[in-house]
Structure 1
Amino acid sequence: MARLLQPVCWRLFPWRGYCSQRTQGELSKGFVEALKAVVGSSRVSTTAIVRDQHGHDESVHRCKPPDAVVWPQNAEQVSRLAALCYGHGLPIIPFGTGTGLEGGVCAVQGGVCINLTMMDRILELNPEDFSVVVEPGVTHRALNTHLRASGLWFPVDPGADASLCGMAATRASGTNAVRYGTMRDNVLNLEVVLPDGRLLHTAGQGRHFRKSAAGYNLTGLFVGSEGTLGLITAATLRLHPTPEATVVATCAFPTVQAAVDSTVHILQAAVPVARIEFLDDVMMDACNKYSKLNYSVAPTLFFEFHGTKEALAEQVQRAEEITQNNGAFHFSWAKEAEERRQLWAARHNAWYSALALRPGSKGYSTDVCVPISRLPEILVQAKEDLKASGITGAIVGHVGDGNFHCILLVDPEDPEELHRVKVFAEQLGRRALALHGTCTGEHGIGLGKRHLLQEEVGAVGVQTMRQLKAVLDPKGLMNPGKVL
Structure 2
Amino acid sequence: METLQTERISSAFQILLGDRFTGQLDVRKEHGSGFSYHTCMPPDWVAFPRSTEEVAAIVAICSTYQLPIIPFGAGTSIEGHILAVNGGVCVDLRLMNQVLEVDTANMCATVQAGVTRNQLDDVLEGSGFFFPIGPGVNATLGGMASTRASGTNAVRYGTMKDNVLSLTAVLPSGQVIKTASKARKSSSGYDLTRLLIGSEGTLGIITELTIKLHSYPEAIYAAICSFPEVEAAVNTAIKTIQNGIAIAKIELLDALLMRAVNRFSKLDYPEKPTLLLEFHGSPAEIEGQISKVQAIARAFGGDDFCWEKDEVARLRLWRARTDAAPSAQAMVPGSKIMSTDVCVPISRLAKCIVDTQTDIAETGLFAPILGHVGDGNFHLSIPLDPTDPSQFERAKALNERLVQRALALEGTCSGEHGIGVGKLAYMSQEHGEAVEVMRAIKTAIDPANLMNPGKLLPPEKK
Structure 1-normalised TM-score?
Answer: 0.92
Query: What SS is found at the alignment partner of 1:393?
Result: coil
* CA distance in 1 between partners of 2:88 and 2:451 (Å): 10
Query: What SS is found at the alignment partner of 1:392?
Result: coil
Deviation at 1:329, TM superposition (A): 3.2
Match of 2:7 in 1: 29
* CA distance in 2 between partners of 1:124 and 1:324 (Å): 47
Match runs of 1:276-287 below 5 Å:
276-287=250-261
Q: Deviations over 1:27-48 (max 9, x none)?
A: 713312211221222x122111
Asked whether the 8 Å contact 1:194–1:230 carries over to 2, the reply is yes
Asked whether the 8 Å contact 1:26–1:67 carries over to 2, the reply is no
Match of 2:175 in 1: 198
Match of 2:92 in 1: 115
Structure 2-normalised TM-score?
Answer: 0.96
Structure 2 residues without counterparts, runs of 5 or longer: 458-462
Deviation at 1:24, TM superposition (A): 12
Distance 1:271 1:47, change over 3 A: same
Match of 1:270 in 2: 244
Deviation at 1:335, TM superposition (A): 1.8
Asked whether the 8 Å contact 1:160–1:348 carries over to 2, the reply is no
Asked whether the 8 Å contact 1:24–1:110 carries over to 2, the reply is no
Match of 1:159 in 2: 136
Q: Deviations over 1:66-104 (max 9, x none)?
A: 111111111100110011111101111111111111111
* CA distance in 2 between partners of 1:437 and 1:24 (Å): 47
* CA distance in 1 between partners of 2:376 and 2:135 (Å): 15
How many residues align? The count is 457
* CA distance in 2 between partners of 1:25 and 1:341 (Å): 57
Match of 1:426 in 2: 400
Asked whether the 8 Å contact 2:224–2:306 carries over to 1, the reply is yes
Query: What SS is found at the alignment partner of 2:368?
Result: strand
Match of 1:138 in 2: 115
Q: Deviations over 1:179-217 (max 9, x none)?
A: 0000011111110011221101112xxx21111111111
Deviation at 1:409, TM superposition (A): 2.2
Among 449, 453, 458, the residue aligned to 1:480? 453
* CA distance in 2 between partners of 1:474 and 1:274 (Å): 42
Query: What SS is found at the alignment partner of 2:137?
Result: coil
Asked whether the 8 Å contact 2:342–2:413 carries over to 1, the reply is yes
Letter in 1 for 2:79: E
Letter in 2 for 1:229: L
* CA distance in 1 between partners of 2:345 and 2:449 (Å): 35
Structure 1 residues without counterparts, runs of 5 or longer: 1-22
Letter in 2 for 1:384: T
Q: Deviations over 1:282-310 (max 9, x none)?
A: 11122222233222211100000000011
Among 193, 206, 231, the residue aligned to 1:219? 193
Among 327, 337, 341, the residue aligned to 1:353? 327
Match runs of 1:83-482 below 5 Å:
83-203=60-180, 207-458=181-432, 460-482=433-455
Q: RMSD over aligned Cα, in angstroms? A: 1.6
Letter in 2 for 1:262: T
Deviation at 1:331, TM superposition (A): 1.6
Asked whether the 8 Å contact 1:63–1:108 carries over to 2, the reply is no
Deviation at 1:384, TM superposition (A): 1.0
Distance 1:258 1:24, change over 3 A: farther
Letter in 1 for 2:80: G
